[in-house]
Amino acid sequence: MKRQLVSLWVLSALLLASCESVTEREDPKSFLSIEDVADSKALLGAPPVEGSAAYQYDVARYKWGKSQRSTPRGAQAVRDANLQDTVWMDAAFSEAFGYALTPENAPEIVKLIQRMKEDAGDLCTRAAKEGYMRQRPFMVFEEPTSTPQDDVYLRKNGSYPSGHTAIGWATALVLAEINPARQTEILERGLEFGESRVIVGAHFQSDVDAGRTVASGLVARLHADDGFAKQMTKAKIEFARLRNADKKK
């Protein structure tokens, strides 16, 4: 009897571990690992150095960004800084996409974008961020940003390339593939999302440009991943249902 109880306990433990393992595989936080993505430090090269023409352009764009902070565009830039949970997708891209990007309205599309967020914001930018540890413009010029709640974290994190921009541009590229009829609006919004980082003072323009470069490479790599391909298929099927339901109204 004792042996039977022990055997049942061991079997239960194994089944529980198996279920936990399956859950982890089915709902990971990203599609890729750091070994899967291109080396952003080698790909991008060093950021502009002080005195160069590229750096002078960075400074000019920083000054332009400051001039926008008291305008509606500046308010939008502050909203674009928020990447918490899944709310940011709805706020940033629903209008351009043409449909609400919420877990209630488009769960498969939201799941796709949220799962690739770590790939874009961290994995494809990490090597260059850690390798160059470029100071952010608000640190260089010793001036406040439009998002002071983020400054403590940003001071510890390299400016080049922009992770926010990489997330926004990768998202725009994928959403444009799902809904090509709205690709112009979606890509324009993706460009604005990166530009917002210059306006709030968190990034130089060259950080933003580099963020788009690594994000483009990431999306190409994601298309070679089976997990991404499967979730993309689900997202496209979901979008077809949304579009058909809209046509019947």
Show which residues are catalytic.
164, 197, 203, 207
Q: What is the mean pLDDT of the chain?
A: 91
Query: Mean pLDDT over residues 233-242, rounded?
Result: 98
Query: Mean pLDDT over residues 32-57, rounded?
Result: 97
How much is the pLDDT for 27? 59
How much is the pLDDT for 246? 82
How much is the pLDDT for 85? 85
Rounded Cα distance between 161 and 216, Å, is: 13
How much is the pLDDT for 21? 39
Is 80 exceeded by the pLDDT of residue 4? no
Amino acid at position 236, single letter: K
Q: pLDDT band for position 9 (50/70/90)?
A: very low
Report in angstroms the alpha-carbon separations of 215 from 2, 44, 66, 120, 191. 58, 12, 26, 6, 12
pLDDT digits (tens, 9 = 90+) for 197-215: 999 999 999 999 999 999 9
How much is the pLDDT for 12? 43
Query: Mean pLDDT over residues 153-174, rounded?
Result: 97
Q: Which of 214, 215, 164 is nearest to 192 (CA)?
A: 164
How much is the pLDDT for 199? 98
How much is the pLDDT for 249? 72
Query: Mean pLDDT over residues 10-34, rounded?
Result: 56
Query: Mean pLDDT over residues 87-103, rounded?
Result: 97
Is 70 exceeded by the pLDDT of residue 93? yes
Query: Mean pLDDT over residues 142-158, rounded?
Result: 95
- Percent of the chain whose pLDDT exceeds 90: 85
pTM: 0.88
Other Cβ atoms less than 10 A from the Cβ of 103: the count is 17
Is 60 exceeded by the pLDDT of residue 228? yes
Cβ(80)–Cβ(92) below 8 Å: yes
Structure tokens belonging to residue 167: 């997330």
Rounded Cα distance between 214 and 11, Å, is: 46
22 exposure class (CB count in 10 Å sphere: 0-12, 13-18, 19+)? exposed
